[in-house]
Structure 1
Amino acid sequence: MSEYDQVKISKLVLKGDKKKGKKRKHKSKKQEKPTEKIDKDSIEHANWWKVAKIEDITGPVAIEFGKHTYVKALDNGLFTIGAPHADYEGPYPEEILTAVVINERKIAFKSGYGKYLRVEKDGNVTGRSDAIGAMEQWEPVFQEGKMALQSATDCFLSVDDEDDSIVAKNKSAGPQNMVAIRCQTVKQDTTSKEVPVEENGSLEQVEINYVKKFQKFQDKKLRLNTEDKSALKSAKDGGYFHETLLDRRSKMKADRYCK
């Protein structure tokens, strides 16, 4: 049988039949992959990209005035404008803040010293707050590709011309109030918002979570405020939820940040 296996079997060709040539398969043109858009601005800032909406403002950020100059935290609780950086150089550690989302309109910023940025009555911006209240909340205002940061006093963030300190004294936003918030985190789908662990559950449970987190009693017994909790709902809708929680804890003298 081995001899039969070696016989090449071919198709029977009758007289008069023309041999059909091999059809050449035309190579389909490869679909050209869309070229990825290169963010030159981000590359020039060491991959710190410019945010375009409030949902992008999360995690480590830097507030840039002009080009390559960032808001810088000082160890005395004040802020100044840092020295200009060269191209392809990112912000220094003291120029990096942490953004905290308050609600759909407002955010807070924490310095590297663990304190929140606050606008004072005189318009000076300080970083000495341990908790987020109304004066620690900032609203990014976007218009025609530009952005300004509005404080709780309705004044916009800027740099003082005399001493380069950071202030919020202008009621209307001009060129001196235009900023860029730069972020280094990977862009993610913002349809699902990350909720802090303490804010899971009902308003009552949220208050209990924060009391457990900040209570100063060694016996670990909860001291809860028994006042009407309806104020918590209006505070959450109004954007001063954390301040109200702190006030309620302070009345019970149950918070380590209470004076």
Structure 2
Amino acid sequence: MADSYSFVKGGKLKLKGHKDKKHKKHKKRKHDEIDTDTPKPEKGDSEKHGGWWLAKKFDDISGNTAIEMDDMRYLAAQDNGRFKLGPPRDEGEEPDPIEILTAVKVNETKIAIKSGYGKYLSIDPDDGVIGRSEAIGAREQWEPVFQEGRMALNGSNNCFLSYDDDGDIVCNSKKAGESEMLKIRLNANIETDPFANIPVEERGKIKDAEINYVKKFQSYQDRKLKISAEDVSSLKKAKKGGVLHECMLDRREKMKADRYCK
């Protein structure tokens, strides 16, 4: 008897005189068409490191600094003045506070590095790295060496910063091999105004700069600007020589219309 049910067509119960409604075809919505298997765009280098960007030249190195010794692993300060290689960080995670250092430029090629405990990094007699110095001396100076897009940090003993099998930070290799390659990362804002050090009046052509200063200082007795008819080549030379203001003052003095001229 049970086998008889296998021949019965299943489905919705149909009543006599009942007409089937036509089903409208639903258009696919936009979000239905999105392929969920499509990989998301890869994050940029600084995003992977929590916004900490990579120093590519000596002038970049200043202020808050993290030294990436291995992939997503940073040099970390210990409360005993020693340093170890910190644990791996997840993608998008910032360095831990004990991994944040302060870089100070000593001269045009060397820096000093201060730990979060307020002590400068130096090298002990066993070529280990310690942070117990209160001031910057010869042992506290480090030289970032850039070559072919990579970087190593040379210490006062002419060896390069690295770490040993136990994760202790050392400086004992005369040659910069693969294990001596590292990255210095910073979190300072790199979006600086290129005209920040230039007065507003001088942010155009040299002739416009003279007009701007005339507008600023000239007394308008007859409501007309009096601009020097002399060639601007002298102004260009003065700008290169760092005496632009003096040159413009001399030109305005000849016009006899400036209340600030001598």
Structure 1 residues 39, 143: closer, same or farther in 2, change over 3 A?
A: farther
Residue by residue over 1:82-114, the C-alpha shift from the partner in whole angstroms, topping out at 9 and shown as x without a partner, is: 000000001000000000000110001000000
Find the aligned partners of 2:117 and 2:106 in 1 and give their Cα distance. Answer: 20
Q: Could you say which residue in structure 2 is the equivalent of 1:186?
A: 189
Q: Could you say which residue in structure 2 is the equivalent of 1:114?
A: 118
Choose from 22, 40, 46 the match for 1:42. Answer: 46
Q: Could you say which residue in structure 1 is the equivalent of 2:178?
A: 175
CA deviation after TM superposition for structure 1 residue 121, in Å: 2.2
Residue by residue over 1:181-238, the C-alpha shift from the partner in whole angstroms, topping out at 9 and shown as x without a partner, is: 000001266999xxxxxxxxxxxxxxxxxxxxxxxxxxxxxxxxxxxxxxxxxxxxxx
Q: CA RMSD in A?
A: 1.9
CA contact (8 A) 1:63 1:180 kept: yes
CA contact (8 A) 1:59 1:99 kept: yes
- State how 1:152-171 maps to structure 2 within 5 Å: 152-161=156-165, 163-171=166-174
Q: Could you say which residue in structure 2 is the equivalent of 1:65?
A: 69
Q: Specify the code of the residue in structure 2 equivalent to 1:164.
A: G
Count of residues in correspondence between the two structures: 154
Matched, 1:56 2:88: no
Structure 2: where are the runs of 5+ without partners? 1-41, 196-262
CA contact (8 A) 1:55 1:190 kept: no
CA deviation after TM superposition for structure 1 residue 65, in Å: 1.3
Find the aligned partners of 1:120 and 1:39 in 2 and give their Cα distance. Answer: 40
Q: What TM-score, normalized by structure 2, do the two folds share?
A: 0.57
Find the aligned partners of 1:71 and 1:164 in 2 and give their Cα distance. Answer: 9
Q: Could you say which residue in structure 2 is the equivalent of 1:197?
A: none
Choose from 98, 104, 107 the match for 1:100. Answer: 104
Residue by residue over 1:35-86, the C-alpha shift from the partner in whole angstroms, topping out at 9 and shown as x without a partner, is: xxx9800111011000001111111000001211000000000000000000
Structure 1 residues 191, 106: closer, same or farther in 2, change over 3 A?
A: farther
Q: After TM superposition, where is structure 1 displaced by more than 2 Å over at least 4 residues in a row?
A: 188-192
- State how 1:71-86 maps to structure 2 within 5 Å: 71-86=75-90
Find the aligned partners of 1:122 and 1:78 in 2 and give their Cα distance. Answer: 13
Structure 1: where are the runs of 5+ without partners? 1-37, 193-259
Q: What TM-score, normalized by structure 1, do the two folds share?
A: 0.57
Structure with the greater relative contact order (CA < 8 A, sep ≥ 6): 1 or 2?
Answer: 1
Q: Specify the code of the residue in structure 2 equivalent to 1:65.
A: M
Choose from 120, 132, 136 the match for 2:136. Answer: 132
CA contact (8 A) 1:56 1:187 kept: no
> Rg bigger for which structure?
2
Find the aligned partners of 2:65 and 2:134 in 1 and give their Cα distance. Answer: 19
Choose from 135, 138, 148 the match for 2:152. Answer: 148
